[in-house]
Amino acid sequence: MNGNLTAHARVRMAQRGIRSDDLEYVLQHGRRIRPGNGSLYIFLGNRDVPQEDRIGRQGKLAGTVVVLDRAGNIVTVYRNSRASRMLKKRRRCSRN
């Protein structure tokens, strides 16, 4: 795992049923989006999941977002299938 998990991230993962191997999968396959505030969002969309993984547990991870701070610590993890659109919009707004 790249960064350290904060206590908040551990709690959220437990609440949302996201295991550490799920987190690793998202970090490995997800798209990296920098909204301009210094943080890094890693979003796993449907198209990011390889065809051979879509039937198993990994297929259900589509829509998962991992948020890292400037230091590379994992701040939180959540699911939002529309996150890609929201993050692109946020990125556009932050550059103005």
pLDDT, tens only, 49-68:
888 777 777 778 888 999 99
| pLDDT tier at 3, thresholds 50, 70, 90 | low
Strands (E) located in the chain: 31-33, 40-44, 64-68, 74-79
Distance CA 26, CA 9 (A): 14
Question: What distances in angstroms separate CA 94 from CA 24, 44, 91, one per listed residue?
Answer: 28, 22, 5
pLDDT, tens only, 72-83:
999 999 998 776
Global pTM value: 0.80
What pLDDT is attached to residue 7?
96
* Residue 66 neighbours by CB distance under 10 Å: 25
Rg (CA), the chain: 13
Section 33-40 average pLDDT: 86
| Mean confidence (pLDDT) of the chain | 83
Residues 44 and 81 sit within 8 Å (Cβ to Cβ): no
Considering only residues 95 and 5, tell me which one the structure prediction assigns the higher pLDDT.
5
* Cα 96 versus chain centre, distance: 25
Longest distance between any two alpha carbons in the chain, whole Å: 41
